[in-house]
A and B are shown apart, each in its own frame.
Chain A
Amino acid sequence: MRDRPTILVIDDDPDVVELMRIALEANGYAVCSASNATEGLRAVKEIRPDLIILDVMMDTTTEGFQVSYQLRSPDPNSPYGEFSAIPIIMLTGISQKMQMRFSVQKDGDYLPVDEFMEKPIRLDPLLEMIRKLLQRRNEKAPPPG
């Protein structure tokens, strides 16, 4: 286990990435970022983050979904099988435009993520959500050693 939990932010808006970086680093997390699905998946393999913050809409409206499907694929031969336990927070800004509202209870079956958070992001609830997810993960899989 690293001394600081690493959070991967996948979002195509550099300003959002930047403000997340400042806020998260100030709260004791290491932050790395990716601006699209391909980069994001590569970063997951390379960095093995402890948590992923994923924007749903990037180059395409469903790019975020693709990332989460890949990571949580039920296929035993999936190249991302070992990463399926990484908690994912999905940032949604599309509920207004597409008249959708997501929730884990309702959409968890077909949208394999742990939490949804609607934009605009408020920092306190986000930090609280991150803290809870990491804690839950540590309880489930205690770090070796």
Chain B
Amino acid sequence: MKPLFHGLIRGEPLSTLQWWIGLRWGLLGAALLTALWGSRLPDPGFPTAGVLGAGLAGALLNAGFHFRLAIIRRKTAPDMPEIVWLTRIFLATEPLLMGVLFHLTGGAVSPLLLYAVLHATLAGGPLELRSALLYAGSVVAGLVGAVFWEWPPQGPGGGEPLLPVAGVHPNPWGIGWRLVLFAAVVSACLLWVSSLFRHLRENRRQLSGLPRSLPPAKGKLELLHEVANITSSTLGLKPRLDFICGSVRELMGVKGVTVRLLNDRTGKLELMSSCGLSPEYLNKGPVDADKSLAGVLKGEPQFVADAPHDPSAQYPQEAAREGIVSILSFPLQGRRKVIGALRLYTAAKREFTAEEMDFLSSLAGQGAIYIENARIYDALKKQDEAKNEFILMMTHELKGPLMAVQGFMEVMQKGYAGTVSEKQMELLGRVQKRIEAVMGVSAELLDLYQWQTRDREAKVAPISLTRQLEKALDLYGVVAQEKGVSLKLELTREDFQIPATEEEVEKILGNLITNAMKYTPAGGAVCVSLARGAGRIQLRVKDTGIGVAAEDIPKVFQEFFRTRRAKRMDPDGSGLGLPLVKRIVDGLGGEITMQSVENQGSEVIVSFPWSA
């Protein structure tokens, strides 16, 4: 489009022409009104019939342009040469029409003179400079001719000429330089208008380009953000890569996108994710890293312009069958080596801009780092799962023999296996107690790791924390009384509910309350409160017990951690209660913290998001 219109007009050809046709309707309307008005005057000073005729002829011509343009606009693919010719004819008729009206309304003394000058000047706006100068030149030449040849000698209606006519200023040189000056002034105005319009047009072009360029830019940002999130994903690598492939395909407008990762053992690139390509093509066979992606493996992007006929392509026939023309591959450059490739497949010949190449290159670079991180994360997670599995299995294996030992102890203690001396009975009691402690630890271990590996239902109905707390207080009140610890409950009138199961709430409350009582000597107090604070539901369990040293506070939620004083006070504790509570609270989207002063007491604060 641009080469055709180069040197003619600046704007979009169709709408510019339509704009001009509209303006001409205005001029012709004014001419017709003038003619009608003049016909009512006794001496209008111009031939009204002639102006009327010229106006009607102009209107007929303009209607022709109008309908021709309407036909062109209706076509799905407008014919550019036709538009160019139509524009040229239109521009040629402009001075012609104006000349006729100019002539009929008084020539050098016509009121249209000002319009003609303005018209010539403003042509610098929509027209390219060359055409504008040509156009203005023809108008000025017409004027100059009219003046030189004293046409019409005194204007058809007599009166003073507006321009210096020869008869008034007999010195031809004087007239000459004035006319040159006049042409220069018109040209200067034209240049000035031209420059102003170019400037405005450039601004408009940039502004109108914004809405088009914004969505892709936003898409690119979102995509980079998505890549950055690969590691923090709990969904796993595959769905993320699928999303990235889909987004790259949409943003770049290509046929298909794949991500292949290098298998170090086989040297093949294994497909991790793809979109836009048929299963037949994707399963065409192993992609040898050293054959089709030798350059990529060295860390360079690789462009195969014509895959079906490129000698370096590994599967040219399959590419042809799939309708693939070119393949652009980027290395997924990991920390130490290339770990795979991001590939874009196009269905037609297509050039990628430097900006697109930069974007894809940085996407692949970042993607590689994050994929590596995600793999490390997955490996660690697997190890952690294996550890959990091992602990679960070990605990189960321990349980059977321990239960048998416990059973035999009881059989002996009850004398079913013969008489037991008093001393033996005492020893058996001690063994029994230790076994019970080990069984307790293994039960808590099971609890902890089963909690981690269990499948929790995503949606759980809200449960009243207030009600559960009242129930727990009933349950532990007796134990507190036996121990000589006062157990107090502080509630507000509000009924606090959280989306959790009864078992989860029981575990939280049970562990926190028994813990507080366990480490509070007789005569002390445990106070449990539930209230709204800092926009959250806050459960506080406060005791006047042995407390925890400041440096130990961060460790109390670690598995098996127990302070020296806690061990002394309760040798059989497992150090698994608070870690379990933390896991449950975390799982419920809550937070748990501890405040404590040694020898004065501790306060555990559990807070949940407030949902009205």
Contacts and interface: CB of A to CB of B under 8 A. Distances in A.
Mutual binders A and B: yes
Contacts of B417: 22, 26
B450 to A, nearest CB: 7
A19 B416 CA distance: 9
Residue from B406, B407, B408, B411 with most neighbouring chain A CB atoms (10 Å): B407
B454 A22 contact: no
A123 B414 contact: yes
Interface stretch (B285-293, B314-322, B396-404): B396-404
Given A96-B446, A119-B403, A121-B403, A15 B408 contact: yes
Interface string B578-604: 000000000000000000000000000
Contacts of B450: 96, 99
B193 interface: no
B410 interface: yes
B443 interface: yes
Interface residues of B, number: 21
A30 interface: no
A13 to B, nearest CB: 7
Contacts of A120: 402-403, 406-407, 439
A32 B416 CA distance: 17
What secondary structure prevails in chain B residues at the interface with A?
Answer: helix
A119 B439 CA distance: 11
A122 interface: yes
B211 to A, nearest CB: 56
Contacts of A15: 401, 404, 407-408
Given A93-B399, A120-B439, A19 B446 contact: no
B416 A13 contact: no
B403 A96 contact: no
A23 to B, nearest CB: 5
Nearest to B392: A97
A25 B446 CA distance: 34
A18 B382 CA distance: 41
B365 to A, nearest CB: 46
A122 B410 contact: yes
Contacts of B410: 19, 23, 122-123
Interface in A35-62: none
Contact of A22 (B399, B416, B443): B416
B80 to A, nearest CB: 75
Contacts of A97: 396, 446
A27 B417 CA distance: 11
B498 to A, nearest CB: 21
A16 interface: yes
Contacts of B415: 26
A26 B416 CA distance: 5
Nearest to A19: B407
A16 B402 CA distance: 11
Contacts of A119: 403
A16 B404 contact: yes
B411 A123 contact: yes
Interface string A118-129: 011111000000
Contacts of B400: 13, 93
A96 B400 CA distance: 13
Nearest to A94: B396
B414 A23 contact: yes
A60 B419 CA distance: 38
A119 B403 CA distance: 8
A19 B410 CA distance: 9
B388 to A, nearest CB: 14
Contacts of A122: 410
A118 to B, nearest CB: 11
A116 B401 CA distance: 21
A71 to B, nearest CB: 25
Nearest to B436: A120
Nearest to B417: A22
Given A19-B408, A96-B443, 13 more contacts: A13-B404, A15-B401, A19-B407, A22-B416, A22-B417, A23-B414, A26-B416, A26-B417, A93-B399, A93-B400, A96-B450, A97-B396, A119-B403
Interface of A: 13, 15-16, 19-20, 22-23, 25-27, 93, 96-97, 99, 119-123
Interface of B: 396, 399-404, 406-408, 410-411, 414-417, 439, 443, 446, 450, 454
9 contacts: A19-B410, A22-B411, A23-B410, A26-B417, A93-B400, A93-B403, A120-B403, A120-B407, A121-B407
Which 10 residue pairs of A and B lie closest in terms of their CB atoms, listed nearest first? A26-B416, A15-B404, A120-B403, A19-B407, A22-B416, A19-B411, A22-B411, A23-B416, A123-B410, A23-B411
